[in-house]
Amino acid sequence: MRAEEIPEKDFFLPPEGSVIIRGGRVIDPANGVDEVCDLALSGGMVAGRGKALPWCGASKVIDAEGLIVTPGVVDIHSHLFATAGNPNAWAGEYSVFPDGFSFRSGVTTMVDAGSAGWRNFDLFRVSVIDRAKTRVFSFLNIASFGMVSDIIEQHAPDFDPETTAAKAEKHRDVIVGIKSAHYWHPGWESVDRAVEAGELSGLPVMVDFGYFMKERPYWRLVTEKLRKGDISTHCYRGPVPVVDGNGKVYPYLFEARERGVLFDLGHGGGSFLFRNAVPAFAQGFYPDSVSSDLHVQSMNGAMMDMPTTMSKCLAMGMPLGDVIARSTAVPARMIGHPELGHLSPGAPGDVTLWNLREGTFGFKDSVGGRLRSDRRFECEMTILAGEVVWDLNARDGTAYGEIPFGEGIREGEFFIPPER
């Protein structure tokens, strides 16, 4: 059901026990919605929206006046294999545990960008994906051990499309694509084998082009090698030829987009430069998806988190609705999960409440370049499947004096006052 089919307030009554998010500016680009209204969640799903919804039977009423209410953020580029145990590795100590960094950033769905390959994906699944409260999907690396080291990702004889596709099929509920990354040899082996695995599995391929070599120019990747629905990540990285000497975006990028190739921002620690992104944005070459490339180094560097990355897009002139769309519904479709990233009735009750702060702010790119802005996203609350999982300013709290005395004392414990 699309937004225009949602019943008006006179006909829509929230189910008994609903969570009512009241009076926020609801921006749901997938349904063309941008209005101040109430949103109702019930049974972990979106129930509907309307003006001044009755809330006498609600289980919870959240005051969102002055805030922006959006679908939960879908971050399609992160590194989460923190249980791999490898030093100096994306599959290891550079990865982060999802729940520690998702909800505080407004993110309800994270996608690991190929930290694991077919040999170690089972470990990644049982130790991270299945244990996380955050909804986690993954790209499967064409290198059999994934990102345990850059050297492993160079071993072309180990790029096995058939076995990779079989592993993807076994875990089809969580594997959303194939990954090629960090290749530093002059040939196309990593990309070609990943695409072959994509063909066999019916899944898209995401490519981190790695070390740019003159023998395999980037323009050939996006105009010849990648298919419709495949993804080029780090699209504003330093060696990507984005603009010519006159500051004009190279035509091949628009041609690649016409072919159906998708472009992911993938900020990361060293993969986003204003000198490429600012003129590209000015000429309409936006990323299809806004993503963080979250890992230990990027979160403590210029990237920081998804709200900061989204704020940079806003600062470079991307309209607010586009920033939201490219952080929610568009990436959800890119990974084959169109049920996410929107607020249609029946959709998962994943919601983010934002404070769009006004003031004087500065943002850095991966090489220290600075851009000033007067707006910045701040995550006020995150709701996953109808449950509040992040609450910056206790909007879901109760005045402490109203809490019953017995709360906070565990079963089997006793409050024993002193005898004198």
Architecture of domain 3-70+352-401: Roll (2.30)
User: pLDDT tens for residues 84-113?
Assistant: 999 999 899 999 999 999 999 999 999 999
User: pLDDT tens for residues 217-267?
Assistant: 999 999 999 999 999 999 999 999 999 999 999 999 999 999 999 999 999
For the ranges 26-35, 87-96, 400-409, the one whose mean pLDDT is highest: 26-35
| Among candidate residues 151, 229, 145, 221, the one with its CA nearest the CA of residue 188 | 221
pTM of the model: 0.95
7: confidence class by pLDDT, cuts 50, 70, 90: very low
What pLDDT is stored for residue 11 in this prediction? Answer: 60
pLDDT value at 8 more than 80: no
d(CA 190, CA 23): 50
What pLDDT is stored for residue 382 in this prediction? Answer: 98
User: Are the C-beta atoms of 264 and 233 separated by less than 8 Å?
Assistant: yes
CA distances from 418 to 219, 405, 406, 415 (A): 77, 17, 18, 10
User: pLDDT tens for residues 304-342?
Assistant: 999 999 999 999 999 999 999 999 999 999 999 999 999
d(CA 119, CA 127): 15
Structural domain spans, the chain: 3-70+352-401, 73-338
Q: How many CB atoms lie within 10 A of CB 356?
A: 16
CA distances from 145 to 82, 87, 112, 123, 151 (A): 14, 14, 14, 11, 11
pLDDT cut 70: percent of the chain above it: 97
The set of residues, in sequence order, having a beta carbon less than 8 Å from that of 365 and lying 6+ positions away, is: 272, 273, 274, 275, 277, 302, 371
What pLDDT is stored for residue 222 in this prediction? Answer: 98
User: pLDDT tens for residues 382-392?
Assistant: 999 999 999 99
d(CA 247, CA 250): 9
User: Are the C-beta atoms of 99 and 82 separated by less than 8 Å?
Assistant: no
What is the token pair recorded at 16? Answer: 């008994």
In this chain, the answer to whether the domains covering 3-70+352-401 and 73-338 adopt an identical fold is: no
Architecture of domain 73-338: Alpha-Beta Barrel (3.20)
pLDDT value at 10 more than 80: no
